[in-house]
Amino acid sequence: MGLKRLIVRRGQLFTLQLHFNRPFQFQTDHITFVAETGPAPMELLGTRAIFSLTQARPGNVWSASDFTIDSDSLFVSLFTPANAVIGSYTLKIEMSQGQGHSSTHPLGTFILLFNPWSAEDDVHLPSEALLREYILMDYGFVYKGHKRFITAWPWNYGQFEEDIIDICFEILNKSLYFLQNPSKDCSQRNDVVYVCRVVSAMINSNDDRGVLQGNWGEDYSMGVSPLEWNGSVAILRQWSARGGQPVKYGQCWVFAAVMCTVMRCLGVPTRVVSNFRSAHNADGNLTIDTYYNRNAEMLPNQKQDKIWNFHVWNECWMIRKDLPPGYNGWQVLDPTPQQTSSGLFCCGPASVKAIKEGEVQLAYDTPFVYAEVNADEVIWLFGDGQAQEILAHNTSSIGNEISTKMVGSDQRQNITSSYKYPEGSPEERSVFMKASQKMLGPGRASSPFLDLLGSRDFQDQPAQLQLHLARMPEWGRDLLLKLHARRVADRAHPRAPIRLEVRFCVQALLHKGGAREPLWRQTVRLNLDFGQEIEWPLLLPFNNYGNKLTEEKLIRVSGIAKVKETGRSMLVLKDISLEPPHLSIKASERAEVGKALGVHITLTNNLTVALSNCVMVLEGSGLIDGQISNELGTLLPGHTLQIQLDLYPIKAGPRQLQVLISSNEVKEIKGYQDIFVAAAGAS
């Protein structure tokens, strides 16, 4: 991104060559350099620096030193301090001879970024492998789906595309902080904590003219479905081209992936993290309540509390000088607008270490993030206008399989242990009690949990119920499950036979938590003798669910069994993620900058329904300038689509081609191909 202009990192030397119309005389020619950024530069605010030519660099301050003179040319090394304000600078020199007249000469502009290679910078990351991954890698994966059906989505970050750096600073300059007080805002851009909070607020548009407008409904006709984005570049360019009008539409993975692009571009090591079954605990009581009726239907939650199937945020690497020692390193930043922080919809930075240790009093928004990965789930049977019975109290169902891309690999890395101790361990429960005391106060500390744990009757059940898939689930085919029931001893009827009436309900799960109206019901009656095991088949025809799912194709099968002898109820759940058809992508063995690279894409429709209005979008920084989009028409059941095309790579190095084929029936048929591009003329 710096081929046509000067882009440097703070705390780093860079060399200038100055040409004069006569030989330069160090003894009599006095040069003063002036570097300025922001709308009203001032030395007091750190947005204006004045420094003279010296023979040796004086330390971590603006300086011009280590110079050599060659007749009418001057070679000089400029140094920017590792705590300088980031931004676009103008550089000029003021020249004078002795006490005589001085003249000012503009030299040009340069852009100054954070520098994770510098040990003096607050974003210093002392590992080349990590720097390659979290700064230099311009593609990656976002992990989506369900904790048992995790899908890797390729994403084009594209932080080194030519115009992205300008758009990143445009984002900072459209923030409410800048609009209210431009000089103060610019002066605080030396602080990575401040910059992260500004970007977190600006990626969403709830308070301002931010980059993305969220949409968690199901009507995307006024924009683009969040599932149909391949990368950040198209989103950022559209936002800038339309004068800062929010791009429609985003959900959590889009918000987080775009923020990753912006932060890596600015020089902050950043990664995208997915949390499966993520709590949104609006009232801060560390409990999420879910309700079912007698017919096993999940009911709408009247409170704002919810459990996302998955939620995606960012981690940025930094020193936290505003916190006590020990909380440096990865910090959670979440640009998805869930709740306000200091009056704006932003979240973080919250220290991952503080979250693990339950130090929820530490800034910023640590209680909210702690609840996202640690809240307890209480499932209630609801009837006659009130909660009647506890069906389950789950202490480990929230905050599962916390995932990010593995360094130097396409594999997924489970980083749950960074956020919490093993579920159920003494350390985990101890931290939970500590956090709940701080969040609820000593008088209320975990009283909901003590009430629940004091009565464990709901755990003393006369049978064990489980739902299993009898075959791999695929969208477009009937789903076959098996109910496994086993009679076990309980206090009320230790060995007597029992009769069960199990009511099943199937609903499409919404990404934001909750479910659609029931799309299938069935009632099963079982008689179980002590020690007896029964398997009962359940068939869900495609016709029942085909046009009733959300675009994410996620189903919940719920069963509530009533024990005739006691009147008590039991709950059994199974979430199913339906696999879309798979893309096959093959590229020529050798790729070279500027030379044709053959790509072959194959898609077979193995479903029982046609895929109509198919559209293919290709993207990949260094391989394609922007996007390639083709309309493909209708793909009939059993038919195969084959596409052959040539790409002409633009940049050398490791690259990734992302391919999306969307249709009316399935929005997210995605694939990728890693490609290493050789430099032009390389043998």
User: Burial of 206 by CB count in 10 Å (0-12 exposed, 13-18 middle, 19+ buried)?
Assistant: middle
Cβ(608)–Cβ(624) below 8 Å = no
252 part of the active site:
yes
Take residue 206 and report the two structure tokens written for it.
């709830």
Q: Distance between CA 510 and CA 308 in Å, rounded?
A: 8
428 among the known binding-site residues?
Answer: yes
Radius of gyration of the chain from Cα atoms?
29
| Type of residue numbered 344 | L
Q: Distance between CA 309 and CA 381 in Å, rounded?
A: 21
Q: Is the peptide bond before 364 cis (omega within 30 degrees of 0)?
A: yes
The residues near 527 (Cβ < 8 Å, ≥ 6 apart) are 497, 498, 499, 500
- Strands of 384-454, DSSP E: 386-394, 400-405, 412-414
> Which ranges of 597-638 does DSSP label H, i.e. alpha helix?
none
Q: Is 142 helix (H, G, I), strand (E, B) or coil?
A: strand
Q: Within 10 A of 121 (CB to CB), how many other CB atoms are there?
A: 25
Q: Distance between CA 435 and CA 560 in Å, rounded?
A: 33
204 among the known binding-site residues?
Answer: no
Question: 109 vs 6, 242, 570, CA distance in Å?
Answer: 7, 26, 69
Catalytic residue among 252, 265, 505, 614: 252
Place of tokens 């069963």: 559
DSSP 226: G
> Which ranges of 320-446 does DSSP label H, i.e. alpha helix?
352-357, 366-374, 416-419, 426-440
Dihedral, CA of residue 323, residue 326, residue 327 and residue 330, to nearest 10: 150
474 among the known binding-site residues?
Answer: no
Helix axes 164-173, 192-203, angle to 10 degrees: 90
Q: Distance between CA 74 and CA 93 in Å, rounded?
A: 13
Q: Distance between CA 668 and CA 626 in Å, rounded?
A: 20
579 among the known binding-site residues?
Answer: no
Q: b/e per residue, 649-658, with b = 16+ CB within 10 A?
A: bbebeebbbb
> Which ranges of 309-365 does DSSP label H, i.e. alpha helix?
352-357
- Among 251, 221, 246, 219, which residue's Cα sits nearest to residue 235? 246
334 part of the active site:
yes
Q: Distance between CA 91 and CA 84 in Å, rounded?
A: 15
Catalytic residue among 124, 311, 393, 511: 311
Which residues are part of a known binding site for Ca(2+)?
A: 374, 376, 423, 428
Feature table: binding site? 374, 376, 423, 428
Q: Which of the residues are catalytic? A: 252, 311, 334
